[in-house]
Structures are given as structure tokens and as C-alpha cells.
Amino acid sequence: MTGKIHQINTGSGGVPKLPVPEAYVSLERVIGDEWSWGIDRIQSSGKPGKHGGSQKAVCLYSLECLEELKKSGFPVFPGALGENLTTEGLDYHTIRIGDVYQVGADVRLRISAIRTPCTTIADAYGAGIIKAMFDQRVAKCDYTSPRWGLTGFYAEVFRQGVVRRDDPIEKIFAGDPDIPLGKWRHYRGNEYDVLDIALDTETEQPEPVVIYRAREDSEFGPRRVWVRSRNDFLTTVRTKDGDVPRFTFLG
């Protein structure tokens, strides 16, 4: 899947973001874009926000999704929804959490999460836009939802560098469609963050393994990182209440 960068957008807060011809993409954010409220940035309320940081360094939205929203009567345009990169030629309905993209010669991104539309967007373009973009199936990473992709995506940065308008953007690695990165709950109640899907090279044929980290401290140490085979991660477990998934995705 190959497309191109239609527009690069930065801003000082709120929407829309404004176009720039090029920008440097760091591990934490697009330089020049100040809409970054990660753990390293504190709001006036004294609390960290939901934007920016290594897991949400870049926000992407597509020209094609903007056209879908325009057909529904919403006055949107490149940069209107606060995305850093407006792409052209990528089918967002087919994008999966964990997909890796090469952008231009330097930058490499991995899709890390859906972008949940916020009240800032609703205030700017009408309350109905959130319903048009998002539903609970999308929140649960249900790729069959007709709204999948219409929220846009966040990405983490694997390789830093400069991006320019019209740079190609190409998928070079497909994420595991059954194990999206993000928060999962073990059937006993503990919660974990799936960090990556790796390959075990000690098996006869390299087998995928899930790397996940405890969200809370445990008897085995603070925020312990675990590894489990993909097949075992996805199995069901027999309990007194019947068979249940070993892990359930929370978003």
C-alpha cells in the first residue's frame, strides 16, 4: 500500500492546524507543532493530557476520509481535524494497529492507536461529526466497523527525520490483525500493555511471540515485561463460569 503526503500540518493548539512545506519528525512529536500534552507536558490543570508523547508522536488523517466527511455535510479540509500528516492514496479502512510505514527517505512510523475524536472537533465542525467518525466497535478495534479509519490514527516514530509534501508513504510491515498494540486484560483481572509482536528465532520456523508489560507492580517486580507465544496469548481458558479468552483487548 503506497500513497503520498498531501499536506503537513502544525499548530499551537486546537483546530485547524496550518500547512507547512516540510517538518522534522522527532521521537516525541512533529517539531513546530505545540499541540503536545504527553507525560512531559502539563496542562494548566496540573495534569498531563492525551496528546503527544512517544506513543502518539504523529497524528495521521487521509484526504479520502475528509472527502467522506464532506459528503456528509461537514466543512472539513486538510488540517481541519488536527492531523500532522494528511495522506493521499492510502485506504484507512485497511490500516491495522501495528502497521509500519516508511515516509520519504528518512522517517519510519508504526501505527500505535486510533485517534479518538474529542470535543474540540465537535465544537469546530458540529456535534454530529463524532458519530460520523467513531463508534464503540472502533473503540474495541473492530476492523469490520464501517467507521474504521475515519477517526485517523496515531503513530510512534521508529526513525526520525524530515518529511516533505509529496513524499511517498508506503506500508513496509503489516501489524498482527488479531493482537493490536494497546491495553489488554488477563482473565484473572490484571491489565497489561501489548508492546510488540516479536519472532522467536530459537524455533525451527520463527514463531511470533507477544511482548507485554504489566500496568501495575506485581510480586515479580515493577511493571514487569512478559513474553508469551501468540497462540497461547489468543487461547481460551476454562473457568468455573465456562471458557473465556485468556486476554481481552480493552483499547
Q: Stretch 169-189: mean pLDDT, rounded?
A: 92
Residue with the three cell numbers 506513543: 55
Compute the mean pLDDT over every residue in the chain, rounded to the nearest whole number.
Answer: 90
Give 35-51 pLDDT, tens digit per residue: 655 545 544 555 555 56
CB 97 within 8 A of CB 112: yes
Question: Would you say residue 114 has pLDDT above 80?
Answer: yes
For residue 235, name the pLDDT band (cuts at 50, 70, 90): very high
Same domain membership, residue 205 and residue 160: no
Give 1-34 pLDDT, tens digit per residue: 789 999 999 998 778 999 999 999 999 889 998 7
Which of 146, 173, 200 is where one domain is finished?
Answer: 173
Question: Which of 154, 150, 152, 151 is closest to 57 using CA atoms?
Answer: 154
Total number of domains constituting the chain: 2
Same domain membership, residue 189 and residue 152: no
* pLDDT recorded at residue 227: 95
Q: Please indicate whether residue 52 or residue 141 has the higher confidence score (pLDDT).
A: 141
* pLDDT recorded at residue 49: 52
Same domain membership, residue 137 and residue 215: no
Sign of the four-CA dihedral 8, 117, 63, 71:
negative
Q: Stretch 80-97: mean pLDDT, rounded?
A: 96
* pLDDT recorded at residue 26: 94
Q: Stretch 155-184: mean pLDDT, rounded?
A: 93
What are the CA-CA distances from residue 112 to residues 95, 154, 155, 174, 195 (Å)? 11, 6, 5, 12, 9
Same domain membership, residue 33 and residue 132: yes
* Range in 3-7, 162-166, 247-251 the model is least confident about: 247-251
Question: Would you say residue 60 has pLDDT above 70?
Answer: yes
Which of 127, 148, 173 is where one domain is finished?
Answer: 173
- The neighbouring-strand residues paired with 42 are 48
Which triple of cell numbers denotes residue 153?
Answer: 490514527
Which triple of cell numbers denotes residue 77?
Answer: 479540509
- Most confident range (mean pLDDT) of 27-41, 200-214, 222-236 is 222-236
pTM: 0.81
Same domain membership, residue 220 and residue 154: no
Question: Would you say residue 179 has pLDDT above 80?
Answer: yes
Note down the domain range covering 143.
2-173
Same domain membership, residue 169 and residue 48: yes
Q: Please indicate whether residue 35 or residue 110 has the higher confidence score (pLDDT).
A: 110
CB 218 within 8 A of CB 228: no
Residue with the three cell numbers 499548530: 11
Same domain membership, residue 60 and residue 169: yes
Same domain membership, residue 190 and residue 152: no
**Three-class DSSP labels, the chain:** CEEEEEEEEECCCCCCCEEECEEEECCCCECCCCCCCCCCCECCCCCECCCCCHHHCEEEEEHHHHHHHHHCCCCCCCCCCCCCEEEECCCHHHCCCCCEEEECCCEEEEEEEECCCCHHHHHHHCCHHHHHHCCHHHHCCCCCCCCCCCCCEEEEEEECEEEECCCEEEEEECCCCCCCCEEEEECCCCEEEEEEEEEECCCCCCEEEEEEEECCCECCECCCEEEEEHHHHCCEEEECCEEEECEEECC
* pLDDT recorded at residue 46: 55
* pLDDT recorded at residue 39: 47
- CATH number, domain at 19? 2.40.33.20
Residue with the three cell numbers 488479531: 178
Question: Which of 56, 77, 70 is closest to 9 using CA atoms?
Answer: 77
Q: What's the Rg (C-alpha) of the chain?
A: 19
pLDDT above 70 covers what percent of the chain? 92
pLDDT above 90 covers what percent of the chain? 68
Q: Stretch 198-223: mean pLDDT, rounded?
A: 85
